Amino acid sequence: QKKLKSNSFKRKVILEVGPGDGISTALIAASFGASSILIDADNFAKKDINYLVKLSNYLKKKGLNCPDIYISDTLEEVLAKCNSRYLTKGLESFYSIQENSVDLIFSQAVLEHVYKSDFIYLIGEFFRICKLDGICSHQVDLRDHLGGGLNNLRFSEDLWESEFFKKSGFYTNRIQFEEMIEIFNKVGFSCHDIKINRWEKLPLSKNKMSSQFKDLSINNLNIKSFDVILKK
């Protein structure tokens, strides 16, 4: 709490990738004197801002300098009070962000949903807009989004990357841990503070996986999620 009350975030720029149906990050960032950019693939934010009013009251009780939010405010008014931008055109949204302008980029269980064909470009955009002393913090969930196992590895590349599967609602890019780390490094980031969460036993036997995954090591495949800090 003492650390959070410092001025370490004042005048910083924070970018969240994939905020989903809420813009809480805008309010929290503003409470610490930071501005924010929220990027998503579409406009998923809830129009009912009652949850933001409650969050505002909570942050004020914690002694933070939170903007006044009222139930009559529109979403656009809340964003303006928080000095926040909500961009909803996915990768295209990054075009409006200057290079070396963002202090912190973060995501929670989002990177695995980025189309495989777009992934390295997205990480390249992170590198472009991140300040030289900035960081990226990502939590990546490598489990399938059907039942929390590895059933997504059953399918061939052609079928899984088809438009039908991409629009299914449970698409993941199936980029495994070692390959994802390689991409981060290839773009120019260094990886730090990696925390790995593993299965004790693979939830799907290798002989049931598509051929492209059968040759991967158990040590790679049994990683179900990980956290990583990226630095320029």
Question: CA-to-CA distance for 17 and 15, rounded, in angstroms?
Answer: 7
pLDDT score recorded for residue 16: 98
- Mention every residue, 6+ apart, whose C-beta is less than 8 A from residue 206: 213, 214, 218, 221
Kindly report the pTM of this predicted structure.
0.93
Q: Which residues on neighbouring strands pair with residue 84, listed in sequence order?
A: 36
**pLDDT tens profile 157-195:** 999 999 999 999 899 999 999 999 999 999 999 999 999
**pLDDT tens profile 195-208:** 999 999 999 999 99
**pLDDT tens profile 95-133:** 999 999 999 999 999 999 999 999 999 999 999 999 999
Q: Which residues on neighbouring strands pair with residue 15, listed in sequence order?
A: 37, 105
Average pLDDT taken over every residue of the chain = 94
pLDDT band at 2 (very low <50, low <70, confident <90, very high): very low
Question: CA-to-CA distance for 207 and 197, rounded, in angstroms?
Answer: 23
Question: CA-to-CA distance for 42 and 27, rounded, in angstroms?
Answer: 20
